[in-house]
Amino acid sequence: MNKGILYGIGAYLAWGFFPIYWKFLHHIPAIQLIGHRIIWSCLLLTGVILLTKQWPDFRKTLNARVLRIYTFAALLIGVNWLIYVWAVNADFIVETSLGYFINPLLSVLMGVIFLKERLRLAQWIPVGLAAIGVTYLTFVYGRPPYIALSLALSFGLYGLVKKLSPLGSLYGLTIETAILFIPALIYLIVVQAGGSAAFLHTGLVSDLLMVGAGLVTTVPLLMFASAARSIPLWVVGLLQYIAPTLQFLLGVFFYKEPFSHNQLIGFSIVWMALIIFIVENFLASRAAVEPIPEMGEG
């Protein structure tokens, strides 16, 4: 099997099993977990850059425009991480999975709104179906699925900013975590001084898992970056559904979150939209790479 596909599968499997990791830390406030995730991710990413002797090149990328772009990206990914970790530990894993199921379709819509991209007629069908599914779930829940929509919107906007940003994943995430590093460090020092910090006060296992948050953040990202460089975009698009599928299955079957018949209908509408979206993109990609027949052929 293509090494790029293996890297992609590895990245999305890691993201799919993320809820298990955060569940081990359910006794720690989400905002403290995100503080540690930022701190240790930044240190690890900086270490990777130093060990691979990329520091001189990395420093050359820093300027006012880059910092403005990545400050916005940092705020979006920080919000996304906080919502996700809080939701997982508040027993909303199923709803978080919905957010990442609808995220690709929302990203397509953002491309139309912000980048003036044009959708093929067949691409509007899954977008419309997803909207119907979310509307249906709003009636089922008695409220909009705020967690799913917040995750989809924050990550969709993050993807839009990254699409317009000039740097690759490693440099970009390093800058983003570095921007958040000082606020996160100040917050953790304050809670430590106030006696409400979890780090060094909840046992060795919890401490190691908080430090390990940097590792579980950066390793899948680097695997994904390697995959994205070596496999077609439509394959990446197909693999991305591994993560929310695993999260959904964990929520329903492992953590026994409630999942009603009405929710199944709403999710099924979204899944139908995704199937149409995947098939349409696959066929469009195949058509784009097919050679034009020479005169006299077929």
For residue 288, the model assigns a pLDDT of 66
Higher pLDDT, 144 or 281: 144
Contact assessment for residue 256 and residue 19, using Cβ atoms and an 8 Å cutoff: no
Contact assessment for residue 62 and residue 73, using Cβ atoms and an 8 Å cutoff: no
Query: Does the pLDDT value for residue 107 go beyond 90?
Result: no
Contact assessment for residue 173 and residue 121, using Cβ atoms and an 8 Å cutoff: no
The DSSP code sequence of 146-198 is HHHHHHHHHHHHHHHHHHH-SS-HHHHHHHHHHHHHHHHHHHHHHHHHTT---
Query: Does the pLDDT value for residue 33 go beyond 50?
Result: yes
Model confidence pLDDT, tens digit, residues 213-272: 999 999 998 888 788 777 776 677 778 889 999 999 999 999 999 999 999 999 999 999
Model confidence pLDDT, tens digit, residues 185-200: 999 999 999 999 999 9
Copy the structure tokens of residue 279.
């098939």
Q: What amino acid occupies position 96?
A: T
For residue 4, the model assigns a pLDDT of 81
pTM of the model: 0.89
For residue 297, the model assigns a pLDDT of 43
